[in-house]
Amino acid sequence: MSDIPSLSELEFFPYIDSAGQLLEQFQGKIGIYAIFDQEKTLKFVGFSRDVFLSLRQHLVRCPLDCYWVKVSLIDQPNRAILETTRTVWMEENDQPLADEAKWTQAIQVKDLMTEAERSTYENALDEFSQIKALKNVARRVESEIMTQLRARNVQAEIRFNPKLKEEGLLDLK
């Protein structure tokens, strides 16, 4: 497919603009994107029916790896074209990418518990106490993420889904 843009030829966009906003020009747009860290090392390649929402979700899940992005938009959803482009970009990069689940799945806060939090959770007398312990861990992790985003001057509204916290998950609303 000769109409696949080369990743190296696409423009780098800063993940967060000078006003602290995310890339709103990609809101509601279908496309494929490549996310780079501060040194412009490729970290993840994904595609979405709404590139903006996906980029916002990735920023929350991997805030230290989201500094630059390259995007190629398409008019109609076409999984074959998107998957082929993804493969070409990853081959062009010739570097294995990080754990895909951390980019694409909700944050599992059980994996991030401190020893004290784990003890509280495991020694909870009932399900309600376990849920409360999970929500407290989720709030702590959310606070740490928000601190990282504020340090990068993110001004965009970031809201987590409160219902998922009871399940020990963090994801955007």
CATH 1.20.1550 applies to domain 7-98: no
Instruction: Return the domain boundaries, the chain.
Output: 7-98, 107-170
Per-residue pLDDT band at 173 (split at 50, 70, 90): confident
Tens digits of residue pLDDT in 79-137: 999 999 998 998 888 766 668 889 999 999 999 999 999 999 999 999 999 999 999 99
pLDDT of residue 97: 67
pLDDT of 105 reads 95
The residue with greater pLDDT, 95 or 22, is 22
CB-count burial class (<10 Å; 0-12, 13-18, 19+) for 4: middle
- Per-chain mean pLDDT for the chain: 93
Q: Which residues of 44-55 are buried (b: 16+ CB within 10 A; e: fewer)?
A: bbbbbeebbebb
CB within 8 A of 125, min separation 6: which ones? Answer: none
pLDDT of residue 37: 95
pLDDT score of 2: 52
Are the C-beta atoms of 146 and 158 separated by less than 8 Å? yes
pTM of the entire predicted model: 0.91
pLDDT of 3 reads: 79
Calculate mean pLDDT across residues 141-160: 95
pLDDT recorded at residue 93: 85
Amino acid 1: pLDDT: 46
